Amino acid sequence: MPLKLFPGEGFRKVAELSSLALMLPSSIAVGLFFGYFLDKWLGTHPWLLLIFLLLGIASGLMSLLRGLSKYGGPDSIEQPEGTETDVPENRPAD
């Protein structure tokens, strides 16, 4: 019979969500790395660096959103009665 080390869904969620924190910086770093070395190789300094930096940022955001979408949008978060109105009021005025 399969066993579970940490029973309950909550713990798995914590582990999965904590993994998202490094998604954005590491994607940007990989994008920069690719751009830097392609630039060195093809001699197109600095264009590929900039393009791949943007691609890295896009990819980081995309994988971050993809990881978060598993937990649903704001609709799936159950809010207790009467607390929904708090959110717009607490926002600082522009």
Partner 1 sequence: MEALAHSLFTVELFNKLFSKPAAALLKLFGIPVADPNHLFPDYLAVCILVSILIVLLFGLTSRRFKTIPSRYQSFLETIINIFEGQVVDIIGEEGKKYVPMIATIGLFVLFNNLIGLVPGFMSPTSNLNVTLGCALTVFVYYHWQGIKTQGLLKYLKHFMGPIPLLAPLLIPIEIISHFSRPISLSIRLFGNIFAEELLILTMISILPYFLPLPFMAIAIFTALIQAFVFVLLSCIYISGAVAHEEEHE
Name the minimum Å distance from CB 70 to partner 1: 10
Name the minimum Å distance from CB 26 to partner 1: 4
| Residue 29 in tokens | 């770093």
Q: Restricting to residues 16-45, which ones interact with partner 1 according to CB under 8 A?
A: 16, 18-19, 22-23, 25-27, 29-31, 34
| Residue 50 in tokens | 């900039």
* Three-state DSSP string of 37-68: HHHHHHCCCCHHHHHHHHHHHHHHHHHHHHHH
Binding residue (CB under 8 A) for partner 1 from 12, 44, 47, 71: 12
